[in-house]
Amino acid sequence: MPADEVARETDAVIDRLKQRVRLPGFRPGKAPAGLIRRQFADDIRQQVLENLLPRFIEQQAKEEDLEPVGSPSVTDLKFEDGEPLVFTVEFEVAPEIELGQYTDLTVTYADPEVTEEDVETRIEEIRQRRAEFVNVDPRPLEDGDFAVLELKSLDGVDGQPIKQDDIHLEIGGEDTVAGFSEALRGASPGDECEFDVTYPEDYGQEKLAGKTVHFHAVVKGVRRKELPEINDEFAQDLGDFQNVGELREEVRRAIHGERQFAGQQAAKDALVEQLVDLHEFPVPNAYVDRQIRSRLEQGLRQLASEGVDIGKYKPNWDELRERQKDRALREVKASLLLSRIAEREAIGPTRDEVDREVERIARQQREPVAAVRMRFEKDGTLGRIAGHLQTQKVLDYLFEHARKVAGEAESAEAPAES
């Protein structure tokens, strides 16, 4: 950087410093510049560098049509009074992506079929959810009964006791751990008992999986499940249906829609994997690190939602990066490729599409739309919503322009040479 430009910035820093510092024998702002320069030489030098380097790097990057990524590294710095400021700056740049094949890829997909058995199973699930539990006159518990219990563990799990004052357990039920049914079968309301329960190794709650817990239970009552009859009245109670036939058709459409969405999502994921495999280009480490941090934050939020104290979690960044870098690298490449395709094909969300998504979130959060939009504009969420919608539209484009096969997907063809 030219010596005169460095000198001007140095004088400006000294002038600003004069207004703030107080030196013995001088009124504020009246201390000689030479004295300020000598006494605060290190501070002045640091401030000049902080002011000039980012400005110069940005200017040079624009002139050379470069897009810096991450924080630049400055080395070989030579900063002497009256001399040009000389330094070397190194930074990663956004990669240039040469798009190859991204249409006419082959993917496994077939429109889903919905059988009568599927419909009957779903209606039975709805029927089970509409069941009522009725009290039964006191008698010994038997299979199919729902025991109303006061339950507590006597030894705790991971230092925390289990205690529930009004829990329902189905004796002999598929979802009931066998130890409970064995211990409570034959017990009557008013009975108290102690017993051990060993949870399966694959139990849904990790803290209980494979553990044996000693419980104390008080039987408070006996209930039976009463299921509604599947008839026109049942259908009418569920919504705007005249009869069971209309309900069955709606259930069929719902199952088809769910399976179609899941199938298309799996196909889109497979297309993205093919897309990444077909394109080779360098990815800045800064992008990969950012993605790993994003994955870590997402994982911590999940743990927090499960009641884990994440304040005590101290991740080993080097180990974490090594374990996740391959997956993060592919995710970054996929994101860059989808953005490049969006640019090539002029794919993007409309203003109405973004507005509808903001309105949907506002309704979900029960807040005024204008307030939500203002907040999203300030914190960058609006841009992320637009980016998400763009990604979904690019995935739709890839799926629409792919060759769908019902069996094993063929490997992607290499782009034809011209």
All structural domains of the chain: 3-93 (3.30.70.1050), 132-226 (3.10.50.40)
pLDDT in tens, 403-413: 999 865 444 44
SS3 per-residue string spanning 58-117: HHHHHHCCCCEEEEEEEEEEECCCCCCCEEEEEEEECCCCCCCCCCCCEEECCCCCCCHH
- Confidence band for 32, pLDDT divided at 50, 70 and 90: confident
Element (H, E) at 253: helix 244-278
Cβ-contact 144, 226 below 8 angstroms: no
Mean pLDDT of the chain: 89
Closest CA to 258 of 57, 118, 355: 118
**How many angstroms separate the CA atoms of 410 and 405, rounded?**
9
Residue 400 has pLDDT above 90, yes or no: yes
DSSP symbol at 227: P
pLDDT in tens, 223-248: 999 999 999 999 999 989 999 999 99
Alpha-carbon separation of residue 236 from 230, 242, 292, 296 (angstroms): 11, 6, 50, 47
Angle made by CA atoms 307, 311, 313, in degrees to the nearest 5: 95
Q: What residues pair up with 148 in beta bridges, in sequence order?
A: 168, 221
Cβ-contact 150, 189 below 8 angstroms: no
pLDDT in tens, 75-128: 999 988 888 999 998 988 888 899 999 999 999 999 999 999 999 999 999 999
The reported pLDDT for the residue numbered 357 is 95
Intra-chain end-to-end CA distance of the chain, in Å: 47
**How many angstroms separate the CA atoms of 299 and 390, rounded?**
25
3 state SS of 329: helix
Residue 61, token pair as written in the block: 């990057």
Buried b (16+ CB within 10 A) or exposed e, 114-129: beeebbeebbeeeeee
Give Cα 18 to chain centroid, integer Å: 50
pTM above 0.85, yes or no: no
Cβ-contact 250, 235 below 8 angstroms: no
Residue 368 has pLDDT above 70, yes or no: yes
Instruction: Find the Cα–Cα–Cα–Cα dihedral 278, 282, 286, 287, rounded to 10°.
Output: -20
Phi/psi at 163 (5° precision): -145, 125
pLDDT in tens, 290-343: 898 888 888 888 877 777 777 777 777 788 778 888 999 999 999 999 999 999
Element (H, E) at 343: helix 317-345
**How many angstroms separate the CA atoms of 154 and 158, rounded?**
12
**How many angstroms separate the CA atoms of 315 and 318, rounded?**
9
DSSP symbol at 310: G
**Crossing angle of the two packed helices 244-278 and 116-129, in degrees rounded to 10:** 110
